[in-house]
Chains A and B, each alone.
Chain A
């Protein structure tokens, strides 16, 4: 499978991020501000600040 790297702007700090996710729901870290971003769309690539852990998350 060929994976295309796409450039996006961090929604928190506007830094440029190169990412090549294969699935929505993947987490991408912003190297500049450290925020965790969740991939919400692959084409076009979109990310949102990942939600905080909820009470019912886990194993």
Chain B
């Protein structure tokens, strides 16, 4: 059976669960800290296949590109990571693949961004194009709030923060809680989904949202598999909202944190990820 090089930046609960799943499944998992890697012309990662779990998306993309160039099976592939790292590109690809997604815009100038927000309507959401864990995600209720957020962003030193990504706000508040859905796609299968509920917005488990099982309906499966394909496929976590006309996919994540999805769903997600990685290596 092919071995799996598990490249990580921090040994989180997810990485420990992957190592444990490897022991259970009889899969040779070889953990390697990305600090210790040197990538050369012919290699630098131990393992027949590479499972990229670096906490840094910049490192994850560099590692995936290297492994792909060596001809080594890698999960996720560089095209998928690159697309998922850019929320704007993700939105545009989803839309052009016919996946319902909140209306989204990118602008580079504050006045242009404000005009785009006028067009989207308020409330709206302003996000970094490449952030995670809801960092710097802001819901703005009017033009004044939007200008304040954009002017703060303009002062940040990283030029990527001056790429203004704006999205229509989809209101799921039912009077007591907001809710969105996190779905896990592994290869060509939707394997698990949870509802994330919170009295606060955004409903991110990194910010204390609670979770509950979400039934895997044919409609959910269809939109998730098409969305996963639209960003390049692989092992993905999709964030969805229930809109008045059905599911909307609002983000796709390439480095999923699954610890909060195992309990409500009972799915052995780390084993499924490893099995998929081995299967890819055999093809």
Name A's B-contacting residues (CB within 8 A).
21-27, 38-39, 53-59
Contact = CB atoms under 8 A, between A and B. Distances in A.
Chain B: interface size category: 20 to 34
Given A23-B11, A26-B11, A56 B130 contact: yes
B55 A58 contact: yes
Nearest to B158: A55
Given A54-B56, A58-B57, A27 B132 contact: no
Interface of B: 8-11, 15-16, 19, 31, 33, 35-36, 55-58, 128, 130-133, 135, 158, 160, 237, 253-257
B135 A58 contact: yes
A22 B158 CA distance: 36
A57 B36 contact: no
Given A38-B10, A58-B255, A25 B131 contact: no
Given A24-B11, A25-B9, A25-B10, A57 B55 contact: yes
A59 B255 contact: yes
6 contacts: A24-B35, A39-B11, A57-B57, A58-B253, A59-B253, A59-B255
Nearest to B136: A55
Contacts of A21: 11
A25 B33 CA distance: 7
